[in-house]
Amino acid sequence: MKAFEWPSKYAGKPFWDTTAIGRKESEMSIKQIDKIAARQFPMVGVAMPDEIKMPVDDLTELSVTQKRQKSYDRIDGASAHDRS
């Protein structure tokens, strides 16, 4: 959750806030827009502090747990939603 909240706090707005998109661009040519957009590619993630990032071991464990749960669901024919 910290890794989701930190970029929003760092940017000063939620990542889904798109209110500024399209205002000035609506007056621009596609060549002007391409020139601006080209600087953003390839897109790399935000450099956040290590204490915010999820450790690789946690990501791996989460992935293994999810795969294991899907296997169990196939075996017994029930989804996690059905069990709750």
pLDDT given for residue 7 in this prediction: 72
Q: Are residues 84 and 60 in the same domain?
A: yes
Would the pLDDT of 69 be above 70? yes
Q: Assess whether 29 and 4 both reside in one domain.
A: yes
Q: Would you state the pLDDT for residue 22?
A: 77
- Pair 37, 59 in one domain: no
How many folded domains does the chain comprise? 2
DSSP conformation letters of 5-20:
HHHHHHHTS-TT--TT
Q: Which residue range is the domain that position 66 belongs to?
A: 54-84
Give me the chain's average pLDDT, please.
76
Which is more confident, 81 or 9? 9
Looking at the fold, whether 12 and 27 belong to one and the same domain comes out as yes
- Is there a single domain that holds both residue 31 and residue 3? yes
- Closest by CA position to 10, among listed 42, 54, 49, 44: 49
pLDDT beyond 90 at 54: no
Residue of 1 and 38 predicted with greater confidence: 38
* Cα-to-chain-centroid distance, residue 43: 13
Q: Which pTM does this prediction carry?
A: 0.28
